[in-house]
């Protein structure tokens, strides 16, 4: 495309230029832009066959803008060693590099503008790919399409998707060699779990055979198909997820769904298709382009969802930012015993310890980990079963910190023993962790003194404390916890049991502290979380989206309490051997992962050594004295 656009530009600057004779060149290269040009000419009220140089220059400028948002990220995230697309789509990269060399473009400004246009998810994929990490081929649809999602389809199907198919060497809907896609949101700022994701787009009755020929794995084929039907039904068609979950639970009969064979998953897919048609009042879409359109529109629409709006309101984010949508070639963590998906932090987000903090699930897709509906394993499973992958992951996560100059929250998938990096962003953390991480990054030479001072400027001694149980607490209660769970965010929280947002809001309005108890850690609970002092769930991972949000909000969070049973009809819970009612008081110990009956005494334990390090780095720095320090609790 470098040659194509350079030739087109030369033609456009020719005062004698009278026609668009470069359209055929684009067609020959696999990019049909004729419909797009027809729209441009019609909108500008011009004669397509009688265009003069200024018209062509305007047209080319418009085309470049679309290629920036549509094609360029495909190149950038093409995957290690794949050069197939560079000759066709490298123009905009070369153009920007040349302007930078000539001093006509600020690289920092360019990077920021692209993060805004592409969303941080796609932009960080671009940066990981440039670091040589294994990133599946991807394509981003820019944030400006949030206002009118359908307007992206013409460019997508004429320019963007063909480019992605070219680099992936697969085609969407191809019965013999189908391209299977993930469709993910990606705002300019991190909004974990607030918008939708759809996986396995492109599977249908006509592509199942081709997918089987690609993988040789019938269980993977039917597992992925039933996942698509259920997720598409929930996100696009608006079907309540419990219809699909109940059918799955009935089939599993108390066993792990990963033990289901391909024949059972094939039968489940058939059941899901019937459920979809019964509740959506139309069959599941078998046209893969229609599937993709529905997925893209649903992801864009999720920017306007209640939970996304509440998150932006809580974090003082603009509603005008919009989200990008990233299409990426699927890699399958549910492909067998040497596969899986994981989410991790390059350092412990609760205390700042320099150690990988990972949740991993064998033979599973990424949504199983982040959705909060599954219990997971730590890094030991990955380390023991796939030591080469574990070593490579450590190498990549170190490179991420050096590139992004901060602790990172990352997602990865292992497909048939091969590691793929799917996302990275700055990780949410507690205040104690934030101070320690900033100081450690400085000591390690990753950030400079000015940066560490900026990051620790608002911390006071009163804010760098850890709440712990007092020695004066009831010894009998401490010696007999109700149950144990996995710590996702440290500290101590006591309050009345609340089983939904309405109860939590009502009690909070009266000044009563509450502990939210839920079956899963889901981001739909963000409003209820705001009214609560802590969160306890029966299922879920430390790295699930809701746990990440709880950590950001400073809420004590325990997940995966296997002895917690919730009865919403009777408004009662069973924790271990104790039968409790909504409104009863419990205490969560986020330090030791214990749940206690009643309210226990708490003390603040200041981290004096950490604060001494903060003070030492601030010493004699004038900015500390000139800025008002906000006291936090």
In a domain, 391, yes or no: yes
| Number of domains comprising the chain | 3
Nearest to 622 by CA among 453, 504, 474: 453
Residue entry with tokens 């992206």: 152
Give the span between the Cα atoms of 591 and 468, in whole angstroms: 7
Q: 3-state DSSP helix/strand/coil percent for the chain, to nearest 5?
A: 45, 15, 35
95: which 2 tokens? 């153009």
Is the same domain home to 453 and 393? no
Q: Give the DSSP per-residue string, 394-448.
A: HHHHHHHHHHHSS-EEEEEEEETTEEEEEEEEEPP--HHHHHHHHHHHHHTTSS-
Of the chain, the end-to-end C-alpha distance in Å amounts to 56
Give the span between the Cα atoms of 436 and 353, in whole angstroms: 8
- For residues 605 and 468, the answer to whether their CB atoms sit within 8 Å is yes
In a domain, 80, yes or no: no
**How far is CA 349 from each of CA 190, 356, 484, 486, 494, rounded to the nearest angstrom?**
16, 10, 21, 14, 22
Is the same domain home to 480 and 558? yes
Q: Give the DSSP per-residue string, 551-608.
A: HHHT-EEEE--TTEEEETTTTEEEETTEEEETT-EEEEETTTTEEEES---EEEEE-H
Per-residue pLDDT, 95: 39
- For residues 387 and 323, the answer to whether their CB atoms sit within 8 Å is no
42-101 pLDDT, tens per residue? 655 666 666 555 555 555 555 544 443 333 333 333 333 333 332 223 333 443 444 445
Residue 544 pLDDT exceeds 70: yes
Give the span between the Cα atoms of 160 and 1, in whole angstroms: 13
Q: Would you tell me how many other CB atoms lie within 10 Å of the CB of residue 184?
A: 27
Residue entry with tokens 């019965």: 175
Per-residue pLDDT, 370: 77
Give the span between the Cα atoms of 633 and 631, in whole angstroms: 7
199-231 pLDDT, tens per residue? 999 999 999 999 999 999 999 999 999 999 999
Give the span between the Cα atoms of 351 and 433, in whole angstroms: 4
More confident residue, 459 or 34: 459
Is the same domain home to 370 and 456? no
146-182 pLDDT, tens per residue? 999 999 998 889 888 888 898 889 999 999 999 999 9
- What mean pLDDT comes out for the span 537-541? 86
In a domain, 97, yes or no: no
Q: What is the CATH number of the domain that holds 358?
A: 3.30.470.20
Q: What is the CATH number of the domain that holds 492?
A: 3.50.30.10
- For residues 571 and 499, the answer to whether their CB atoms sit within 8 Å is yes
Per-residue pLDDT, 16: 47
2-12 and 53-70 helices, crossing angle to 10° = 160
Is the same domain home to 595 and 478? yes
In a domain, 253, yes or no: no
622-632 pLDDT, tens per residue? 554 434 333 33
Is the same domain home to 401 and 492? no
- Listed in order, strand segments (DSSP E) in 155-276 are 181-186, 197-201
196: which 2 tokens? 């939708």
Helix (H, G, I), strand (E, B) or coil at 177: coil
Nearest to 185 by CA among 29, 289, 305: 305
Is the same domain home to 399 and 386? yes
Confidence of residue 349 (pLDDT cuts 50, 70, 90): very high
Give the span between the Cα atoms of 537 and 520, in whole angstroms: 6
In a domain, 397, yes or no: yes
Nearest to 364 by CA among 346, 383, 381: 381
Confidence of residue 25 (pLDDT cuts 50, 70, 90): low
Question: Within 13 Å, how many C-alpha atoms sit on residue 138's CB side?
Answer: 37
In a domain, 353, yes or no: yes
For 599: left if phi > 0, alpha if psi spans -120 to 50, otherwise beta; the answer is: beta
Is the same domain home to 479 and 579? yes
Residue entry with tokens 């839920």: 518
Is the same domain home to 476 and 568? yes
378, 398, 426: which is the final residue of a domain?
A: 426
Is the same domain home to 563 and 504? yes
Q: Would you tell me how many other CB atoms lie within 10 Å of the CB of residue 27?
A: 12
In a domain, 210, yes or no: no
Nearest to 26 by CA among 79, 54, 55, 66: 66
Tell me the average pLDDT of the chain: 82
Is the same domain home to 456 and 550? no
- For residues 208 and 286, the answer to whether their CB atoms sit within 8 Å is no
Is the same domain home to 460 and 371? no
Per-residue pLDDT, 471: 77
- What mean pLDDT comes out for the span 505-514? 96
In a domain, 140, yes or no: no
- What mean pLDDT comes out for the span 475-501? 89
Is the same domain home to 471 and 581? yes
Q: Which domain holds residue 580?
A: 466-606
Percentage of the chain exceeding pLDDT 90: 55
Q: Produce one character per residue of 262-290: b if its CB has 16 or more CB atoms within 10 Å, e if not.
A: eebbbebbebbbebbeeebeeebbeebee
């Amino acid at each position: 495309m470098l040659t194509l656009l350079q030739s087109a530009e030369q033609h456009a600057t020719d005062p004698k230029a009278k026609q668009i004779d470069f359209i055929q060149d684009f067609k020959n290269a696999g990019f049909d832009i004729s419909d797009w040009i027809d729209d441009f000419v019609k909108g500008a009220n011009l004669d397509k066959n009688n265009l003069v140089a200024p018209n062509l220059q305007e047209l080319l400028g418009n085309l470049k803008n679309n290629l920036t948002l549509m094609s360029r990220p495909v190149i950038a995230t093409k995957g290690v060693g794949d050069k197939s697309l560079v000759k066709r789509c490298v123009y905009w990269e070369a153009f920007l590099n040349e302007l930078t060399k000539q001093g006509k473009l600020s690289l920092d400004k360019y990077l920021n503008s692209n993060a805004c246009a592409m969303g941080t998810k796609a932009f960080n994929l671009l940066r990981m790919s440039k670091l040589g990490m294994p990133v599946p081929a991807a394509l981003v649809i820019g944030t400006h399409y949030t206002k009118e999602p359908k307007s992206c389809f013409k460019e997508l199907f004429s320019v963007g998707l063909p480019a992605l198919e070219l680099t992936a060497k697969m085609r969407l809907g191809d019965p013999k060699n189908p391209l299977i896609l993930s469709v993910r949101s990606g705002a300019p700022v991190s909004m974990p779990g607030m918008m939708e994701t759809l996986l396995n787009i492109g599977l249908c009755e006509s592509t199942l055979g081709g997918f089987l020929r690609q993988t040789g794995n019938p269980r993977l084929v039917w597992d992925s198909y039933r996942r698509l039907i259920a997720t598409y039904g929930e996100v696009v068609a608006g079907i309540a997820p419990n219809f699909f979950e109940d059918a799955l639970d009935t089939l599993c009969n108390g066993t792990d769904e990963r033990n289901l064979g391909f024949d059972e998953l094939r039968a489940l897919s058939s059941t899901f298709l019937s459920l979809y048609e019964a509740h959506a009042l139309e069959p599941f879409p078998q046209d893969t382009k229609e599937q993709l359109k529905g997925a893209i529109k649903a992801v864009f629409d999720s920017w306007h969802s209640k939970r996304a709006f509440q998150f932006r309101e809580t974090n003082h984010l603009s509603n005008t930012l919009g989200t990008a949508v990233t299409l990426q070639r699927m890699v399958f963590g549910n492909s067998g015993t040497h596969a899986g998906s994981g989410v991790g932090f390059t350092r412990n987000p609760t205390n700042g310890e320099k150690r990988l903090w990972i949740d991993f699930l064998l033979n599973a897709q990424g949504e199983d980990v982040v959705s909060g509906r599954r219990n997971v394993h730590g890094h030991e499973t990955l380390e023991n079963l796939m030591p080469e992958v574990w070593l490579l992951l450590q190498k990549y996560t170190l490179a991420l910190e050096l590139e992004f100059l901060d602790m990172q929250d990352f997602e990865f998938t292992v497909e048939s023993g091969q590691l793929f990096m799917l996302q990275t962003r700055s990780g949410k953390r507690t205040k104690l962790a934030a101070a320690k991480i900033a100081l450690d990054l400085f000591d390690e030479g990753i950030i400079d003194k000015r940066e560490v001072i900026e990051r620790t400027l608002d911390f006071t001694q009163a804010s760098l404390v850890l709440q712990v149980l007092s020695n004066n607490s009831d010894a009998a209660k401490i010696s007999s916890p109700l149950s144990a769970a996995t710590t996702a965010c440290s500290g101590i929280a006591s309050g009345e049991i609340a089983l939904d947002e309405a109860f939590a809001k009502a009690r909070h309005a009266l000044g009563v502290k509450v502990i939210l108890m839920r079956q899963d850690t889901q981001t739909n609970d963000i409003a209820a979380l705001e009214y609560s002092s802590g969160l306890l769930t029966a299922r879920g991972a430390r790295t699930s989206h809701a746990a990440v949000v709880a950590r950001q909000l400073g809420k004590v969070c325990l997940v995966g309490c296997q002895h917690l049973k919730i009865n919403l009809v009777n408004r009662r819970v069973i924790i271990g051997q104790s039968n409790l009612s909504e409104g009863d008081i419990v205490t969560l110990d986020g330090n030791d992962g214990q749940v206690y009956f009643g309210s226990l005494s708490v003390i603040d334990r200041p981290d004096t050594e950490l604060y001494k390090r903060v003070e030492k780095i601030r010493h004699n720095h004038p900015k500390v004295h000139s800025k008002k320090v906000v006291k936090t609790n």
